[in-house]
Amino acid sequence: MAKRDFISITDLRKPEILGIFKQAKVFKKKPFSKRDALASKSIALVFQKPSNRTRVSFEVGIFDLGGHATYLGPEELKLGVRESVKDAAKVLSRYLDGIVARTFSHEDMLLMAKFSTIPIINGLSDLLHPCQGLSDLFTIDEKFGKSDIKISFVGDGNNVLHSLLLGCSVLGRDIHVATPAGQGPNAEVLEKAKSEAAKSGSKIELTNDPVECVKGADVVYTDVWVSMGQEREKQKRLSAFSGFQVNKELLSHAKKNVLVMHCLPAHRGEEITDAVLDGKNSIVYDQAENRLHVQKAILLKLLGG
């Protein structure tokens, strides 16, 4: 059987995503229900950048499924510096059954997938964060079922937003986005999301006005304004995002029981206030937990056969 990668949410169709959600729900209740699914299988975590949630959730998930995880961090492999992505992918394919990759460049992610003969799971690139996106949409379904709700994203047009756009469009969920001028989503990703939305019947609405975006929202999502690798641009970016902070004032325009999401890590006091992040409407830790359950379902689908 030909190997299958998970680089983008659009690598899966709606029935497959719903199947992953169904399995994740089982894993949440019965963590060891597929204890031998990855028995005798070894999976590497090849990371160009450090990680908390992605690393730990995948390592624990692989263990729960009976597999073995090998972590190759920024200093061990120095992917693309000490050794070319092509050579690393070819060699690791001889040792392993799968790779979870976390790269700065999306091009490196695509090269890993091109030259490996084993499944590659995108644990984050500068363009996409599909495991996060699926976990977020699973969390939203968990809270609201399949009811018609308003999902609003306020902040940077980054990899998290890209995967939310793609996930919502495949599943038929409407999404409203507010970004500062010049900080919107990648044009190619947006075009792909619009194409998927046309098939599923969902709507994508873009604005530069955060208040307009969150009016009547059931969910308000934000992420950092300064991502890893953008530290030199910090002051410029903070200035550009002035007025986009998710705080009590902004949330006063949303529904009374609006749920607040953030993929973490958060820069408290920048894109979100402590009062909101730690408040009763915050579900950020539910999101973080659900990374484990959803990623186990992804591992099972790609490697559990």
State the catalytic residues. 102, 129, 132, 223, 263, 291
CB 267: neighbour CB atoms within 10 A?
Answer: 14
Q: Tell me how many helices (H) and strands (E) the chain has.
A: 13, 9
Amino acid identity at 46: V
Edge-to-edge strand ranges of the sheet holding 204-207: 204-207, 175-178, 151-154, 219-222, 259-262
Cα separation of the two ends of the chain:
10
Helix, strand or coil, per DSSP, at residue 207: strand
Contact residues for 291 (Cβ-Cβ < 8 A; gap 6+): 53, 54, 57, 131, 132, 135
Structure tokens at 209: 């006005």
Which of 162, 164, 184, 161 shows the shortest CA–CA distance to 173?
164
Extract the tokens encoding 176: 């409203």
Q: Of 93, 222, 118, which Cα lies nearest the Cα of 164?
A: 222
